[in-house]
Structure 1
Amino acid sequence: MTQFADKVALVTGAANGIGRSVAMMLAERGARVVVADMAPAGEQTAADIRAAGGQAEFVRCDVSDGASVAAMVKAAVTSFGRLDIAVNNAGIDPEVAPTATWEERTIDSILAVNVKGVFLCLKYEIEEMLRTGGGAIVNMGSAAGLVGVANKPAYTASKHAVVGLTKASALQYASQGIAINAVCPGAVDTQMLADNLGDPGLKDMVAANHPIGRVASANDIAEAVIWLCSAQASYVTGHALAVDGGLVIQ
């Protein structure tokens, strides 16, 4: 498929989970992809894309560090000449606990990656897209960015902030050819969910909380991201798209 032929895409947090699915899907549909992650496993994602006949480069990036993010965007342009699509997927959700028991350093780490990291990615991606005439950016939100989630105060706050960053940035750059949206998943069958649950038996309980009766696959979320990156979504900006099996409409 050549849906994204001649497009250059950047995906953060692409070593596994949703980010890997997005990177693989973009490549399958013709994009040249920069795979970014802190984890060396990101190189495997890039290698798998190349093995399937696509073009990809791996860049190690700490999204909470401005110099690292600037270098990531520069590497994308150096490798492939421009930047048309960016998916700011990198995020962490390390702990489930009541608000009063959270430690300051844990909150700082979540906000550094999930909020500052998205802001920094937007900053440098937008700069490059303005230089070349526009593009599409998708930030990874969460159902926790649309409603409150007990025992996840810092994560919930961080994902509400992602939705806010998305809306404010979309207003600023809509007239300059840059569409900026967010995808807000419910529970997704990834390692992050497994780590949060601890007990594999709890997955069925989580699935039952979603009216559709199951948790999402990473590909379910990737398909929504891909649509927002495409020409078919050219009239959509500033939107936080819930892809959550009906979770937040209850």
Structure 2
Amino acid sequence: MSRFADKVVVVTGAAQGIGEGVARTIAFEGGSVVLADRSALAEDVAAEITAAGGSARSFLCDLETYRGAEDLMQFAAGEFGRIDVLVNNVGGTIWRKPLEFYDESQILAEITRSLMPTMWCARAVLPHMIDRASGVIVNVSSNATRSINRVPYAAAKGGVNALTASLAFEAASKGIRVVATAPGGTEAPRSTIPRNPEPPSPQEEVWHQQTVEQSTQSTFLKRYSTIDEQVEPILFLASDAASYITGTVLEVAGGDRG
């Protein structure tokens, strides 16, 4: 397949998991990809893609800041001359516990991690896409907007859904599509980049397991997805095959609409 031939795609959170899968597949399908992450593992993935004959660059940055997002887009445009697609994949629950056990700093950390990188990157990429009257922004949200033990994360991803709908409305006349997927629970190798440097307490392990059970039991298929099952819908929405789809949040959660 060559869905992304001659396309320049920026993928955030590309060092591992869904983001890594998206970046590798885009390169395999002929695209030039910029892998953005704050982990140096993104450099290793980019090197592997290049060694296999693909076109890839890595850029280390903190996308919880606008400066990080702006620097990323300037880098991508400088390397390849334009940006055709942005995949906003940064985010993820840091803690899992009932809301009354979160302190102020933890709530702010959840919102900053799972909403602001999408907001900053969307803002930073828009001038590049508006100049060419063309572009696609794919946001990776979550079906956990209705779930237990992660209310701040749910609020952040609800914000991503609202951002997707509102920006799609605003940007359509400028030739830009804005869409999102809402993944359910996904089987993935254990993260090599811990979201929380502190090991969970026994009680936090219980709350985590409650979330896992609720997640799997809420799906029609009664299981987690694979990474590939999350990557393919993202690629479809990013491709020209989805040219008449905008403002949509596609649930990829085994029937659980969140």
Q: Same fold by TM-score, threshold 0.5 exceeded?
A: yes
Q: Could you report, residue by residue, the CA deviation over 1:66-97 in whole angstroms, capped at 9, with x for unpaired residues?
A: 11110100110111110000000001311011
Spell out structure 1 runs of 4+ moving beyond 6 A. Answer: 194-197, 199-204
Distance 2:211 2:94 in 1: 17
Q: Could you tell me which residue of structure 2 aligns to residue 177 of structure 1? A: 175
Q: Could you tell me which residue of structure 1 aligns to residue 38 of structure 2? A: 38
Q: Could you tell me which residue of structure 2 aligns to residue 218 of structure 1? A: 227
Counterparts in 2 of 1:160 and 1:78: CA distance versus 1, 3 Å: same
Q: Give the structure-2-normalised TM-score.
A: 0.89
Q: Could you tell me which residue of structure 2 aligns to residue 125 of structure 1? A: 125
Q: Could you report, residue by residue, the CA deviation over 1:187-239 in whole angstroms, capped at 9, with x for unpaired residues?
A: 011236x9899589889845444212321111111100000011110000000
1:239 to 242, 248, 258: 248
Amino acid at match of 2:78: T
Q: Could you tell me which residue of structure 2 aligns to residue 157 of structure 1? A: 155
Q: Equivalent residues in 2 for 1:48-197 (5 A)?
A: 48-145=48-145, 148-190=146-188, 191=190
Conserved in 1, the CA contact under 8 Å of 2:149 and 2:211? no
Q: What is the alpha-carbon root mean square deviation over aligned residues?
A: 2.2
Number of residue pairs matched by the alignment = 246
Conserved in 1, the CA contact under 8 Å of 2:148 and 2:211? no
Counterparts in 2 of 1:203 and 1:103: CA distance versus 1, 3 Å: closer
Gaps of 5+ in 2: none
What secondary structure, in the 3-state scheme, does the structure 2 residue paired with 1:237 have?
coil
Q: Give the structure-1-normalised TM-score.
A: 0.92
Gaps of 5+ in 1: none
Counterparts in 2 of 1:47 and 1:172: CA distance versus 1, 3 Å: same
What secondary structure, in the 3-state scheme, does the structure 1 residue paired with 2:246 have?
coil
Tell me the percent identity.
Answer: 33
Deviation, structure 1 residue 10? 0.2
Q: Could you report, residue by residue, the CA deviation over 1:143-198 in whole angstroms, capped at 9, with x for unpaired residues?
A: 023xx212111000000000000011000011111100010011011236x98995
What secondary structure, in the 3-state scheme, does the structure 2 residue paired with 1:247 have?
coil
Deviation, structure 1 residue 61? 1.5
Q: Could you tell me which residue of structure 2 aligns to residue 227 of structure 1? A: 236
Distance 1:48 1:220 in 2: 22
Amino acid at match of 1:246: G
